[in-house]
Amino acid sequence: MEKKWWQTSVGYQIYPRSFYDSNNDGVGDLRGIIQKLDYLDDLGVNLLWICPFYKSPMDDNGYDVSDYYSVDPLFGTFEDAKELITQAKAKGIRVILDLVMNQTSDEHPWFVESRQSKDNPKRDFYIWQDPKFNELGERIPPNNWASFFGGSCWNFDEHTNQYYMKIFSNKMPDLNWENEEMRKAMYEMTRFWLELGVDGFRIDAIAHLAKDLSFEDSTMELNDDGVAPDWKKYSNRPRLFDYLAEFHDEVLSKYDIVTVGEVGGGADVDDAKNYAAYSTKGFNMVFNFDHCWYNGAWDDFGRTQGKLEVDVVGLKKRMNHWIEGSLPHMWMPHYWLNHDHPRVMSQYGDPEHFHRESGSMLGMILLALPGTPFIYNGEEIGMTNVDYEDVNDFRDVWVKNFMEEAVKRHPYEQIMNHLRRTSRDNARTPMQWNSEPHGGFTQGVPHQKSVSNYPTINVASQQQDPMSIFGRYKAMIHLRKDSEYTQTLVYGSFEMLEPLDPQLYAYKRVGDKNLVLIANFSQEKKDISHMNLSGKVVINNYDTYSNVLLPYQAVLIEL
Ligand code: NOJ
């Protein structure tokens, strides 16, 4: 394996809408990120992934792009984007963009043209099919496939009497990757941003570019919406890898960049290798969702009502499965959450009783793993899920679609419990900078309500304290990026210890040094004398260390 700059980097994902609002219109913006570069530099991260800021009607907060070449006025100007890239670089911080290639907005000029007539030159940039008719003669979609955002993955267009495919919202028509002209236009667009100086991409929804072009009905059981959630009809299909190889040859291979594909649920380690193994013409890494969705963070109504118990053994098993399956075939990105998942503090930590302890423990577990870690904005101060009481405080298009059906079947309070546990909005609340109104995110009215704990959980209250969550993240980042332990933490071998212990999360990293990360993933104390761990304490999230670990204590030990 050839060594690359991005292997020793520490990533940080920014959801620009909610990071920092520099002009007080209630929406975070690029100048807001520029103003916070010193903060990011102080934390120590050096690879920013910024979620989409291209021009967009914002049906899905920017994942519905209407112009790939310009910045949406909500986020600033093209000049702001250039300045952000330049200023970040000057601090040694690289920037990667979110590349949205599975779909555009229905307001993108391509789609505006495509829908005009069946023989429009852009018709074939998207996926159009004739309607079907049921026994009653009623018009129905071309097949029974589900959309990720609820209902059918087809939307009817009156104008030409056909359906277009959209696996996300109605305003996000899927592109037809069989169309060479469209593919070339995409490659040209990616070159444009690379020439401008971005250091790579996180590639959105990449598993879905190729569809089953027979468009035959799924035989899978239909869900409550009357459609089949048969994701394999448009996920991880063999044809996709032809597109990726072409993209790799024509664009990616020509630059010294980093690429991280989002392959999401449904792809196991072997599928992931098709995208990112060292020997593959694809990406450098892929994000999987397994550990994020574990613990009922996705769509399982039954599991989102009671108290949330953490199954540490199951979590370790999932993470270990990916790590062992990946090494030595491909490099892995590690993360606890992104803008599509609930807050890790609420999912795996204990915000009520052990906020500092559990938040710093989670950071230490993440930052000593092999691969490239990505921190999600706010994670470094232990931000939590929302405490909304009113469903109208949620903003996500997914929530809106979900509500249409959920209200028919569940009591309001149960729906609210479900959303407070699973909604993507949990991760999209304003960043909590200080104890001022809206956590200092804006002096205007924020686009989404802040979590009410901002007076106590915020950057200002933690930044100077080395034992805060922020302080422990910062120390671990430094250790990983730039210390005598860097080689071991980045390139050392990995072995999970005590895999069946329901309280411990422990693993060994061996390289130049011999390290053990041991964490007590629980509210109870834990005796670890049987492990005979003696050595030098490199980092600890408590002031003391003995054979009895305190609640959520995490320690990195050099044996
Ligand atoms: C994955 C993105 O992370 C998510 O936010 C978005 O809704 C879908 N892809 C569609 O682009």
Per-residue pLDDT of the chain (559 residues; tens, 9 = 90+): 789 999 999 999 999 999 999 999 999 999 999 999 999 999 999 999 999 999 999 999 999 999 999 999 999 999 999 999 999 999 999 999 999 999 999 999 999 999 999 999 999 999 999 999 999 999 999 999 999 999 999 999 999 999 999 999 999 999 999 999 999 999 999 999 999 999 999 999 999 999 999 999 999 999 988 999 999 999 999 999 999 999 999 999 999 999 999 997 678 999 999 999 999 999 999 999 888 888 766 666 777 787 888 999 999 999 999 999 999 899 999 999 999 999 999 999 999 999 999 999 999 999 999 999 999 999 999 999 999 999 999 999 989 888 988 899 899 999 999 999 999 999 999 999 999 999 999 999 999 999 999 999 999 999 999 999 999 999 999 999 999 999 999 999 999 999 999 999 999 999 999 999 999 999 999 999 999 999 999 999 999 999 999 999 999 999 9
Q: Which residues line ligand 1 (CB under 6 A)?
A: 60, 63, 100, 168, 204-205, 262, 339-340
For residue 149, the ligand 1 atom closest to its alpha carbon is 7
Same domain flag for 97 and 119: no
Residue 434 belongs to some domain of the structure: no
Cis amide linkage into residue 141, ω under 30° from 0? no
Mutate to test the pocket of ligand 1, among 98, 149, 204 (most ligand atoms within 8 A of CB): 204
Residue nearest to atom 6 of ligand 1 (CA): 63
Total structural domains within the chain = 3
**CA 238 vs CA 55, 111, 399, 536: distances in Å:** 32, 26, 32, 49
How many whole angstroms separate alpha carbon 480 and alpha carbon 502? 27
Diameter of the chain measured on Cα atoms: 76
Residue nearest to atom 11 of ligand 1 (CA): 63
Same domain flag for 119 and 83: no
Domain containing residue 132: CATH number: 3.90.400.10
Same domain flag for 217 and 143: no
The bridge status of strand 132-133 relative to strand 372-376 is unpaired
Residue 439 belongs to some domain of the structure: no
Where is the domain boundary, 370, 389, 408?
Answer: 389
- CA distance between the termini of the chain: 27
Residue nearest to atom 10 of ligand 1 (CA): 63
Residue nearest to atom 4 of ligand 1 (CA): 340
Q: Pseudo-torsion of CA 81, 83, 84, 86, nearest 10°?
A: 120
Same domain flag for 134 and 74: no
Is-contact 432 381, C-beta < 8 A? yes
| Ligand 1 mean position, distance from CA 497 (Å) | 35
For residue 424, the ligand 1 atom closest to its alpha carbon is 5
Same domain flag for 317 and 214: yes
- For 178, the 3-state DSSP assignment is coil
How many whole angstroms separate alpha carbon 516 and alpha carbon 188? 46
Same domain flag for 186 and 220: yes
Where is the domain boundary, 332, 366, 389?
Answer: 389
Same domain flag for 223 and 320: yes
Mutate to test the pocket of ligand 1, among 50, 54, 58, 60 (most ligand atoms within 8 A of CB): 60
How many whole angstroms separate alpha carbon 207 and alpha carbon 267? 8
* Chain centre to alpha carbon of residue 429: 15
Same domain flag for 89 and 206: yes
Q: Which domain holds residue 547?
A: 492-558
Single pTM value for the model: 0.97
Please give the backbone phi and psi of residue 374, each rounded to the nearest 5 degrees, phi first.
-125, 125
**CA 201 vs CA 95, 191, 299, 347, 377: distances in Å:** 9, 11, 28, 28, 18
Domain containing residue 507: CATH number: 2.60.40.1180
Residue-level length of the chain: 559
Residue 404 belongs to some domain of the structure: no
Same domain flag for 213 and 284: yes
Same domain flag for 136 and 222: no
| Ligand 1 mean position, distance from CA 18 (Å) | 16
**H-helix or E-strand spanning residue 18:** none
CA atoms within 13 A on the CB side of 450: 30
Q: How buried is residue 327: exposed, middle or buried, by Cβ count under 10 Å (0-12/13-18/19+)? A: middle
Residue 432 belongs to some domain of the structure: no
How many whole angstroms separate alpha carbon 161 and alpha carbon 174? 18
Residue with tokens 């590690």: 334
Q: What's the DSSP call for residue 519?
A: E
Residue 466 belongs to some domain of the structure: no
For residue 102, the ligand 1 atom closest to its alpha carbon is 11
How many whole angstroms separate alpha carbon 142 and alpha carbon 140? 7
Nearest-5° angle of CA 396, CA 106, CA 143? 85
Is-contact 104 95, C-beta < 8 A? no
| Ligand 1 mean position, distance from CA 483 (Å) | 36
Same domain flag for 212 and 334: yes
The bridge status of strand 11-14 relative to strand 514-520 is unpaired
Region for 52 from its dihedrals, namely left if φ exceeds 0, alpha if ψ lies in -120 to 50, beta otherwise: beta
Same domain flag for 222 and 355: yes
Where is the domain boundary, 389, 406, 428?
Answer: 389
Residue 410 belongs to some domain of the structure: no
| Residues that are catalytic | 204, 262
